Amino acid sequence: MGRKWNNIKEKKAQKDKNTSRIYAKFGKEIYVAAKSGEPDPESNQTLRLTLERAKTYSVPNHIIEKAIEKAKGSGEENYDELRYEGFGPNGSMIIVDALTDNVNRTASNVRAAFGKNGGNMGVSGSVAYMFEHTAVFGIEDKTADDTLEALMEKEIDVRDVFEENGLTLVYAEPDHFAQVQDALRELGVEDFKVAEFEMLPQTDIELSSQDQEVFEHLIEALEDLDDVQNVFHNVDVK
State the average pLDDT for the chain.
90
* Contact indicator for 123, 86 with CB cutoff of 8 Å: no
> Which residues lie closer than 8 Å to 11 by C-beta, 6 or more apart?
231
- Give the pTM: 0.89
Instruction: Note the residue count of the chain.
Output: 238
Helix (H) or strand (E) holding 98: strand 93-100
Helix (H) or strand (E) holding 30: helix 19-35
- Express as a percent the part of the chain with pLDDT over 70: 92
- The pLDDT tens digits of the residues spanning 209-232 come to 999 999 999 999 999 999 999 999
Residue 8 has pLDDT above 90, yes or no: no
* Contact indicator for 135, 197 with CB cutoff of 8 Å: yes
* Contact indicator for 70, 184 with CB cutoff of 8 Å: no
- The pLDDT tens digits of the residues spanning 71-120 come to 988 667 889 999 999 999 999 999 999 999 999 999 999 999 999 999 99
Residue 92 confidence (pLDDT): 96
Q: What is the mean pLDDT of residues 51-60?
A: 90
Burial degree of 160 (CB within 10 A; 0-12, 13-18, 19+): middle
* Cα Rg of the chain, angstroms: 18
Other CB atoms within a 10 A radius of the CB of residue 154 amount to: 14
Binning pLDDT at 50, 70 and 90, where does residue 166 land? confident
Residue 38 confidence (pLDDT): 87
Binning pLDDT at 50, 70 and 90, where does residue 1 land? very low
Region of residue 197 (phi > 0: left; psi between -120 and 50: alpha; otherwise: beta): beta
Q: What is the mean pLDDT of residues 189-208?
A: 91
Other CB atoms within a 10 A radius of the CB of residue 175 amount to: 9
* Contact indicator for 195, 179 with CB cutoff of 8 Å: no
CA nearest neighbour of 67 among 101, 38, 34: 34
- Express as a percent the part of the chain with pLDDT over 90: 72
Domains annotated for the chain, with CATH where assigned, are 3-72 (1.10.10.200), 80-129+202-233 (3.30.70.980), 131-201 (3.30.70.980)
Cα 238 from Cα 223, distance rounded (Å): 19
Other CB atoms within a 10 A radius of the CB of residue 202 amount to: 10
* Contact indicator for 53, 25 with CB cutoff of 8 Å: no
* Contact indicator for 97, 82 with CB cutoff of 8 Å: yes
Binning pLDDT at 50, 70 and 90, where does residue 164 land? confident
Binning pLDDT at 50, 70 and 90, where does residue 16 land? low
Residue 4 confidence (pLDDT): 63
